[in-house]
Amino acid sequence: MIIGLDDTDSKDGMCTTYLLAVLIEKLNAYGKVKDYPLLIRLNPNIKYKTRGNAALAMELELKDRNDAQKVMELVIETVEKMAVFSEENTNPGIVFIGNPTPRLNKDLSEFSLRAVQDVLEIREAKELLIRHEISHKGYKNERGLIGALAAAGFSLCGLPDHTYELIAYREQKKYGSLREIDPGTVWSADAATHPDTWDTVDIENKRIVFAPHSSDPILFGIRGRDEEAVRKAFSMIRSEPVERYLVYRTNQNTDMHLINATIHEVRNDRSYILSGTISKSPRTIMGGHIIFGLSENGAHIECTAFEPTKGFRRIIRELMIGDEVTVFGSVKAETLNLEKIKVNRLKRVELRNPVCCGKRMKSMGKEQGKRCQKCGAITKERVIETLPRNISEGFYEVPPCARRHLSKPLIRFPFQGS
């Protein structure tokens, strides 16, 4: 039986991953989780999300098929006990898939991918649930059914790419208090397991980034390429007592949200890979954000490196009109928020007015030639000049402290040997 769950959490209390971890313990009596539970990140631009737009699923291998009803009741009872129904934006959804068919497989693989890349309506989830006679329970406006069905869909159809995260949970009495984690052991764990684990620390910004600051049940999460790597890092970290922990398989750090497109196809609230030429120089706006214009085939979009992307902005500032780049990121309010950039070709030369008497000659008007304002010399020709460039062609990414859950770090790209 596949169980999908979503939208049980609140900003300062529950977290759906914790609910699943508790549920797995309760379900032990009825069966075992096959493989790994799934932690799925859906479209990061959805306005209804509490934090990281996560949805959860697991496949339970039942000891006895006759227990299916009891299992469903236990899941419903646990969600009803633990979900934060009082929060306006919490609309839980639970989905149970018992007897998959090839048709369901096809419909769900499309639906699940759209939940990561697109914006769905609640009625689309309900329509699929009813058409395929899938047992489900939605609460309040039932929005959680979208995420629950999408996560269950990935459990059924598999993930095209995946990573792992070990999440450690706090004792309940500690919720809301400062997290006690020995920083030295975190840096050592990262040093011993990187690049098989990543985003535990941010070396450039000298920060530990694997622990949230909110008052939720998560103590920290270790991301990595396999269970062995995240477990090894976990074993090295000293901290306050861990109430429980769980290793999830996840679509985090896979770039699954990105759609290959042209600029004129772009829509708000989706995420893209776009290629083009810099058409407006980078400029710094209030708050330290940097914006440049990107054009391709007459279409134009603004791209922004926000202040929290820290040192990444140094690269963006160096771009010039005429550089050819590929950008990766989410589009909101007609602006692409940069997660990564690939500089394909830097403009290295430029036609400019010649220098005479130590100063650049001035144009005398259209097709009138150029004149030296000091000695009066006149020339028709412009000269080719080499531009001093302080960056090289290649990939650049935001630092770990600014990485979004779905963003694939460069260490996971094949040219990095992983």
Catalogue the long-range contacts made by 84-89 (C-beta closer than 8 Å, 24 or more residues apart).
Answer: 84/8, 84/9, 84/10, 84/13, 84/14, 85/139, 85/140, 86/10, 87/9, 87/10, 87/11, 87/13, 89/48, 89/50
Closest separation in Å from C-beta 214 to ligand ATP: 9
Minimal distance in Å, beta carbon 286 to ligand ATP? Answer: 28
Tell the smallest beta-carbon distance from residue 110 to ligand ATP (Å).
Answer: 13
The single residue among 42, 166, 325, 406 that binds ligand ATP, judged by CB under 6 A, is: 42
**Of residues 217 and 276, the one with the C-beta less far from ligand ATP:** 217
Retrieve residue 372's tokens.
Answer: 């030296």
Q: How far apart are CA 354 and CA 351, in angstroms?
A: 9
149's tokens = 């069905």
Per rule CB under 6 A, count of chain residues that contact ligand ATP: 24
Mask for 95-124, x = binds ligand ATP (CB under 6 A): --------------------x--xxx----
Q: Is 43 in the site for ligand ATP (CB under 6 A)?
A: yes
* Farthest CA pair distance, the chain: 99
In this complex, which beta carbon is closest to ligand ATP, that of residue 325 or of residue 406?
406
CB of 115 to ligand ATP, least distance (A): 4
Interface pick for ligand ATP out of 1, 4, 5, 9 (rule CB under 6 A): 9
Amino acid at the residue 136: H
Query: Can residue 50 be called a binding residue for ligand ATP (CB under 6 A)?
Result: yes
Binding segment (CB under 6 A) for ligand ATP, from list 6-14, 158-166, 270-278, 291-299: 6-14
193: contact with ligand ATP by CB under 6 A: no
* Distant-in-sequence, close-in-space partners of 218: CB < 8 Å, separation ≥ 6: 15, 17, 18, 167, 168, 169, 170, 211, 212
Q: Is 46 in the site for ligand ATP (CB under 6 A)?
A: yes
290 is an interface residue for ligand ATP by CB under 6 A: no
Range in contact with ligand ATP (rule: CB under 6 A) among 50-58, 131-139, 240-248, 385-393 = 50-58
Pattern 59-98, ligand ATP, x by CB under 6 A: --------------------------------x-------
* Closest-CA residue to 25 (of 192, 169, 210, 139): 169
Residues 6+ apart with CB under 8 A from 386: 348, 349
Can you tell me which of 136, 137, 143, 403 binds ligand ATP, judged by CB under 6 A?
Answer: 143
Q: Which stretch binds ligand ATP (CB under 6 A): 23-31, 69-77, 141-149, 163-171?
A: 141-149
Q: Which is nearer to ligand ATP, 7 or 165 (CB)?
A: 7
Pick from 7, 199, 255, 323 the residue near ligand ATP by CB under 6 A: 7
Q: Could you say which of 37, 44, 147, 217 contacts ligand ATP (CB under 6 A)? A: 147
Q: Is the distance from CB of 129 to CB of 150 less than 8 angstroms?
A: no
Q: Which stretch binds ligand ATP (CB under 6 A): 48-56, 284-292, 341-349, 351-359?
A: 48-56
**Which listed residue (31, 52, 195, 293) binds ligand ATP by CB under 6 A?**
52
Q: Rounded to a whole number, what is the distance in angstroms from the first to the last CA of the chain? A: 34
- The span of 2-10, 183-191, 199-207, 328-336 binding ligand ATP (CB under 6 A) equals 2-10
Which among 336, 196, 187, 334 has a CA at the least distance from the CA of 257? 336
For 225, other C-beta atoms within 10 Å of its C-beta total 19
Nearest approach in angstroms of CB 78 to ligand ATP is 16
Decide: 328 and 345 in contact? Cβ < 8 Å.
no
Would you call 132 helix, strand, or coil by DSSP?
coil
Cβ burial, residue 200 (10 Å; 0-12/13-18/19+):
buried
How many C-beta atoms surround the C-beta of residue 212 within 10 A? 16
Q: Of 4, 37, 44, 144, which one interacts with ligand ATP (CB under 6 A)?
A: 144
Strand 335-345, strand 324-332: pairing: antiparallel
Query: Which of 77, 69, 64, 68 lies closest to 26, judged by CA?
Result: 77
Q: Which is nearer to ligand ATP, 120 or 166 (CB)?
A: 120
Q: By CB under 6 A, name the binding residues for ligand ATP.
A: 6-7, 9, 15-16, 42-43, 46, 48-54, 91, 115, 118-120, 143-144, 146-147
